[in-house]
Amino acid sequence: MPQFPNLDEEDKLKSQGYELIAGIDEVGRGALAGPVVAGAVILPHPANLPWFKLVRDSKELNSGKRESLFDLISKEAIAVGTGIVPSQVIDSVNILKATKLAMMQAVEKLPKQPNFLLIDRVTLSQCSIPQKGITRGDKLCLSIACASIIAKVTRDRMMEEFDQIYPGYGFAQHKGYGTQKHISCLRKLGPSPIHRLYFAPVRNAIASQSSGPLASGQPVPTTSLFNPTCVDTDESIH
């Protein structure tokens, strides 16, 4: 029987005296272009809102369901925060550090300070708030799943706007992930200003160009800060 996100972790923490529990997740970690975006959500508790049973990891929902749940979460959660780290920062500090920076921003932007953090997979050593990293947290923990929806919809909307600013790459369709079409466009056009130049597929596409300056006007990186083990390899495109 499939397991859906629930409030088991939140219930346990509530019984220990924690009142404001924030779920945190990120989206865009494995993309070749665009920002990494994190969401933080504090759900009302105790509560059994009707839409709770509809929540899944954002990768398991179509865009229409994500948009509807985004509106419900934004309206009925106690607090919602988002953190956005652009590609230039990702290139300069590496994707894992950028992901944690986005998560920290999301926590800091919550209008209410949480007492405990439930985080998908990682922990934030620079944060003094008590916390727990949960493997597959976006599939198991309702607060984290809600945070994944906030992050996903926020990032998708940004990539659709980038598609208007930098036409020709198909950002509105693939959202910056490494699809065959994206790689093909990248080889033809060169990188845009929102491509992650230190990611190996982008560097390889640049190297495969027969001639001509880079579309972004930036030099080809000669060293890599990109660590493949930090990429969210199971993150799919919607």
Average confidence (pLDDT) over 145-157: 97
In a domain, 170, yes or no: yes
Same-domain check for residues 121 and 173:
no
In a domain, 2, yes or no: no
Same-domain check for residues 95 and 186:
no
Give the chain's domain count: 2
Q: Mind listing the pLDDT tens digit for each residue in 50-101?
A: 999 999 989 899 999 999 999 999 999 999 999 999 999 999 999 999 999 9
Pick from 161, 177, 209: which residue ends a domain? 161
Same-domain check for residues 224 and 127:
no
Same-domain check for residues 73 and 153:
yes
Which range marks the domain in which residue 174 is found? 166-230
In a domain, 16, yes or no: yes
Backbone φ and ψ of 142, nearest 5° = -65, -40
Quote the tokens at residue 187: 């080889």
CATH number at residue 35: 3.30.420.10
Pick from 122, 140, 161: which residue ends a domain? 161
In a domain, 195, yes or no: yes
Same-domain check for residues 31 and 102:
yes
Same-domain check for residues 52 and 116:
yes
DSSP annotation of 195: B
CA-to-CA separations, 200 to 33, 107, 207, 221, 230, in angstroms, rounded: 12, 30, 10, 10, 13
Same-domain check for residues 144 and 197:
no
Same-domain check for residues 54 and 131:
yes
Residue in the block written with tokens 């607060």: 143
Looking at residue 48, what is its pLDDT? 79
Looking at residue 231, what is its pLDDT? 34
Are 77 and 39 in contact by the 8 Å Cβ rule? The answer is no
Q: Mind listing the pLDDT tens digit for each residue in 12-63?
A: 999 999 999 999 999 999 999 999 999 999 999 887 799 999 999 898 999 9
Are 130 and 116 in contact by the 8 Å Cβ rule? The answer is yes
Q: How many secondary structure helices (H) and strands (E) does the chain include?
A: 9, 5
31-35-38 Cα angle (round to 5): 100
Backbone φ and ψ of 119, nearest 5° = -120, 140
Looking at residue 47, what is its pLDDT? 79
In a domain, 132, yes or no: yes
Pick from 117, 146, 161: which residue ends a domain? 161
Same-domain check for residues 92 and 136:
yes
Same-domain check for residues 24 and 126:
yes
Q: Mind listing the pLDDT tens digit for each residue in 204-224?
A: 988 887 444 444 444 333 333
In a domain, 236, yes or no: no
How far does the chain reach from its first CA to its final CA, in angstroms? 25
In a domain, 3, yes or no: no
In a domain, 238, yes or no: no
Are 114 and 22 in contact by the 8 Å Cβ rule? The answer is yes
Same-domain check for residues 27 and 116:
yes
Same-domain check for residues 178 and 151:
no
Distance between CA atoms of residues 200 and 225, nearest Å? 10
